[in-house]
Chains A and B, each alone.
Chain A
Amino acid sequence: MIEIKNLHATVDGKEILKGIDLTINPGEVHAIMGPNGSGKSTLSYVLAGRDGYEITEGSVSFCGKDLLEMEPEERAAAGLFLAFQYPVEIPGVANTTFLKSALNAIRKQRGEPELDAMQFLKLVREKTKALSMTDEMLKRAVNVGFSGGEKKRNETLQMAVLQPKFAILDETDSGLDIDALKIVAEGVNALRSPERSMLVITHYQRLLDYIVPDHVHVLAFGKIQRSGGKELALELEKNGYAEFGVNEAA
Chain B
Amino acid sequence: MAATTETVEQVRAVTEQKYKYGFTTDIESDVAPKGLNEDTVRFISAKKEEPEWLLEWRLKAFRVWQEMEEPRHWAKLSYPPIDYQDAHYYAAPKMKDRPKSLDEVDPELLKTYEKLGIPLREQEILAGVEGAEGKSPAIAVDAVFDSVSVATTFKAKLEEMGIIFCSISEAVHKCPELVQKYLGSVVPYTDNFYATLNCAVFTDGSFVYIPKGVRCPMELSTYFRINQANTGQFERTLIIADEGSYVSYLEGCTAPQRDENQLHAAVVELVALDDAQIKYSTVQNWYPGNAEGVGGIYNFVTKRGACRGRNSKISWTQVETGSAITWKYPSCILQGDNSVGEFYSVAITNNFQQADTGTKMIHIGKNTRSTIVSKGISAGRAQQTYRGLVKILPKAEGARNHTQCDSLLIGDQCGAHTVPYIENRNRTARVEHEATTAKISEDQLFYCRQRGLSEEDAVSLIVNGFCKEVLKELPMEFAVEAQKLVGISLEGSVG
Please list the residues of chain A having a beta carbon within 8 angstroms of any beta carbon in chain B: 48-52, 71-73, 75-77, 81-82, 84, 87-93, 97-98, 101-103, 105-106, 109, 141, 158, 162
8 smallest A-B Cβ distances: which pairs?
A92-B465, A93-B465, A102-B451, A106-B452, A76-B452, A72-B449, A88-B447, A92-B468
Complex alpha-carbon distance, A99 and B465, angstroms: 14
Chain B residue at minimal CB-CB distance from A91: B465
Q: Known contacts being A51-B442, A84-B447, A90-B444, is A73 close to B453, with CB within 8 Å?
A: yes
Is B469 on the interface with A (CB-CB < 8 A)? yes
Complex alpha-carbon distance, A75 and B453, angstroms: 11
- B residues 424-474 in Cβ contact with A at 8 Å: 441-444, 446-455, 457, 461-462, 464-469
- Min CB distance A132 to B, Å, is 22
Q: Looking at chain B's contact residues, is the secondary structure mostly helix, strand, loop, or mixed?
A: helix
Q: Is the CB of B454 within 8 A of A105?
A: yes
Q: Is the CB of B452 within 8 A of A73?
A: yes
Q: Is the CB of B466 within 8 A of A48?
A: no
Is B161 on the interface with A (CB-CB < 8 A)? no
Q: Which A residues are in CB contact (< 8 Å) with B453?
A: 73, 101-102, 105
Q: Using a Cβ–Cβ cut-off of 8 Å, how many residues does chain B contribute to the interface with A?
A: 24
Contact of A92 among B447, B455, B469 (CB under 8 A): B469
Q: Is the CB of B452 within 8 A of A162?
A: yes
Q: Is the CB of A93 within 8 A of B462?
A: yes
Q: Which A residues are in CB contact (< 8 Å) with B443?
A: 88
Is B3 on the interface with A (CB-CB < 8 A)? yes
Q: Is the CB of B461 within 8 A of A73?
A: no
Contact of B461 among A77, A87, A98, A106 (CB under 8 A): A98
Chain A residue at minimal CB-CB distance from B451: A102
Complex alpha-carbon distance, A82 and B3, angstroms: 23
Q: Is the CB of B452 within 8 A of A90?
A: no
Chain B residue at minimal CB-CB distance from A86: B443
Q: Which A residues are in CB contact (< 8 Å) with B461?
A: 90, 93, 97-98, 101
Chain A residue at minimal CB-CB distance from B447: A88
- B residues 323-358 in Cβ contact with A at 8 Å: none
Q: Which B residues are in CB contact (< 8 Å) with A106?
A: 451-452
Contact of B452 among A89, A105, A141 (CB under 8 A): A105
Q: Is the CB of A48 within 8 A of B3?
A: no
Complex alpha-carbon distance, A93 and B486, angstroms: 14
Chain B residue at minimal CB-CB distance from A99: B451
Contact of B449 among A73, A84, A162 (CB under 8 A): A73
- B residues 284-324 in Cβ contact with A at 8 Å: none
15 CB-based A-B contacts, threshold 8 Å: A49-B449, A71-B449, A73-B455, A81-B450, A88-B443, A90-B461, A90-B462, A90-B465, A92-B464, A93-B468, A98-B451, A102-B448, A102-B452, A105-B452, A162-B452
Q: Which B residues are in CB contact (< 8 Å) with A73?
A: 449-450, 452-455
Complex alpha-carbon distance, A91 and B469, angstroms: 11
Q: Which B residues are in CB contact (< 8 Å) with A75?
A: 450
Complex alpha-carbon distance, A99 and B467, angstroms: 19
Q: Which B residues are in CB contact (< 8 Å) with A101?
A: 453, 457, 461
Q: Which of B444, B451, B466, B467 has the most CB of A within 10 A?
A: B451
Complex alpha-carbon distance, A118 and B443, angstroms: 30
- Min CB distance A213 to B, Å, is 23
Complex alpha-carbon distance, A72 and B454, angstroms: 9
- Min CB distance B450 to A, Å, is 5
